[in-house]
Amino acid sequence: MPARKKRLDKLHSTSSYTRNLIEASLDLFVTINAEGKITDVNKATEDVTGCTRGQLIGSDFSDYFTEPDKARVGYKKVFSEGYVRDFPLALRHKSGKVTDVLYNAIVSRNEAGEIQGIFAAARDVTEHNRMEEELKLRSELLDIASDSILLRDFEGNVLYANEAMYKTRGYTKDEFLKMNINNIITPGQALVLGQNAEEILKNGDVVFETNQIRKDGSKMLVEVHARLTEVRGRKLILSVTRDITRRKIMEEKLRDSERLATIGQTAGMVAHDIRNPLQSISGALYLMKSDIESMYESAVKKDLDGLLKSVEEDVTYINKIVGDLQDFTHQIKPDMRDVDIRSLLKEILKTISIPDNVKAAVKVSRIFNIHVDPDLMKRVFTNLVINAIQAMAKGGSLTIKAKKNEHDIVVSIVDTGVGIPEDVKPKLFTPLFTTKSKGQGFGLAVCKRIVEAHNGSISFESEIGKGTTFTVKIPNKD
Ligand X SMILES: Nc1ncnc2c1ncn2[C@@H]1O[C@H](COP(=O)(O)OP(=O)(O)OP(=O)(O)O)[C@@H](O)[C@H]1O
443 binds Mg ion (CB under 5 A): yes
Contact window for ligand X (CB under 6 A) among 7-15, 108-116, 302-310, 436-444: 436-444
14 binds ligand X (CB under 6 A): no
What DSSP character marks residue 254? Answer: H
Distance CA 274, CA 272 (A): 6
Distance CA 165, CA 175 (A): 12
Q: How far is the CB of 389 from ligand X (least distance, A)?
A: 9
Q: What contacts 50, CB < 8 A, 6 or more positions away?
A: 93, 94, 95
Q: How many residues bind ligand X (CB under 6 A)?
A: 23
Contacted entry of ligand X, Mg ion, none for residue 415, CB cut-off 5 to 8 Å set by kind = ligand X
Task: Return phi, psi of residue 158, to 5°.
Answer: -80, 130
**Interface positions, 41-70, toward ligand X (CB under 6 A):** none
Contacted entry of ligand X, Mg ion, none for residue 364, CB cut-off 5 to 8 Å set by kind = none
Contact window for ligand X (CB under 6 A) among 30-38, 96-104, 301-309, 380-388: 380-388
Q: How far is the CB of 296 from ligand X (least distance, A)?
A: 39
Q: How far is the CB of 306 from ligand X (least distance, A)?
A: 25
Q: How far is the CB of 185 from Mg ion (least distance, A)?
A: 52
**Integer angstrom CA distances of residue 414 from 317, 374, 386:** 24, 21, 12
Contacted entry of ligand X, Mg ion, none for residue 302, CB cut-off 5 to 8 Å set by kind = none
Site string for ligand X, 307-326 (x = CB under 6 A): -----------------x--
Q: What contacts 408, CB < 8 A, 6 or more positions away?
A: 456, 473, 474, 475, 476
Question: Among 428, 458, 472, 474, which residue sits at the site for ligand X (rule: CB under 6 A)?
Answer: 428
Q: How far is the CB of 413 from ligand X (least distance, A)?
A: 7
Distance of CA 314 to the CA centre of its chain: 50
Question: Among 128, 359, 363, 436, which residue sits at the site for ligand X (rule: CB under 6 A)?
Answer: 436
387 binds Mg ion (CB under 5 A): yes
Q: What angle do CA 101, 105, 129 make, to 5 degrees?
A: 20
Contact between residue 22 and residue 42 where contact means Cβ atoms under 8 Å apart: yes
Nearer Cβ to ligand X (150/447) = 447
472 binds ligand X (CB under 6 A): no
Contact between residue 444 and residue 470 where contact means Cβ atoms under 8 Å apart: no
Distance CA 448, CA 214 (A): 43
Contact between residue 118 and residue 105 where contact means Cβ atoms under 8 Å apart: yes
391 binds ligand X (CB under 6 A): yes
388 binds ligand X (CB under 6 A): yes
Distance CA 31, CA 317 (A): 107
Q: How far is the CB of 388 from ligand X (least distance, A)?
A: 5
Contact between residue 352 and residue 398 where contact means Cβ atoms under 8 Å apart: no
Nearer Cβ to Mg ion (39/462) = 462
442 binds ligand X (CB under 6 A): yes
Contacted entry of ligand X, Mg ion, none for residue 39, CB cut-off 5 to 8 Å set by kind = none
Pairing of β 28-33 and β 219-231:
unpaired
Which residues here bind ligand X, judged by CB under 6 A? 324, 383, 387-388, 391, 415, 417-418, 420, 424, 428, 433-436, 439-445, 468
